[in-house]
């Protein structure tokens, strides 16, 4: 069974929206506007590319990343790995041709089936709505969080507000950095 890893830049109050400057959000670009850049705090991002075998995205994140990430040298390892987009509306003719093999999945059942296949870890970038659905369905195995010492208030959040049973997490890796960022890696306890 493959491991499904959710990775996120997240504010202390749980917001994950527009960390890199995506338009339409009041606090867009909060990761670089309000925290000193320390390369060591982002080591996990390079490790994710080396260790992941596939990428899973929601439609909105796919449409935001696919025109930009294929040409970015810092995401070169993601370019060649298989990608899966969970969407009920995306069509094959809207997939970009220069970002490797991409498969559209139409349901969480298809994500669950993908997890049952052979292969390495599947990484989920962005995709707030998808992350919430995956978490609520019990499909996420691990969280890689870079927590920023910011309170953003409104914005898309990593976790849903669905009333559900307690989900225990086990802290397996952590580090605090001089700029206030914290790396927190949690395994989901089953």
pLDDT tens readout for residues 78-118: 999 999 999 999 999 999 999 999 999 999 999 999 999 99
Query: Tell me: the pLDDT tens digits for 37-76?
Result: 999 999 999 999 999 999 999 999 999 999 999 999 999 9
Structure tokens that stand for 119 in this block? 């292969």
- The whole-angstrom separation of Cα 96 and Cα 102 is 9
DSSP state of 30: H
Burial tier of 73 (Cβ tally within 10 Å: 0-12, 13-18, 19+):
exposed
């Amino acid at each position: 069974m493959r491991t499904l890893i959710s990775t996120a830049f997240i504010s202390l109050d749980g917001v994950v929206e527009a960390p890199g400057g995506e338009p339409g959000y009041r606090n867009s670009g909060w990761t670089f506007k309000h925290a000193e850049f320390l390369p060591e705090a982002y080591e996990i991002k390079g490790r994710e590319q080396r260790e992941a075998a596939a990428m899973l995205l929601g439609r909105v994140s796919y449409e935001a990343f696919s025109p930009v990430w294929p040409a970015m040298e810092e995401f070169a390892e993601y370019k060649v790995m298989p990608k899966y987009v969970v969407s009920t509306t995306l069509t094959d003719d809207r997939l970009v041709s220069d970002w490797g093999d991409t498969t559209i999945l139409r349901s969480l059942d298809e994500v669950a089936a993908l997890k049952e296949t052979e292969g390495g870890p599947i990484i989920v970038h962005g995709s707030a709505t998808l992350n919430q659905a995956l978490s609520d369905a019990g499909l996420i195995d691990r969280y890689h969080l870079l927590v920023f010492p910011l309170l953003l208030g409104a914005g898309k959040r990593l976790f849903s507000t669905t009333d559900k049973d307690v989900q225990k997490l086990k802290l397996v890796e952590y580090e605090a950095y001089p700029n206030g960022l914290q790396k927190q890696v949690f395994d989901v306890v089953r």
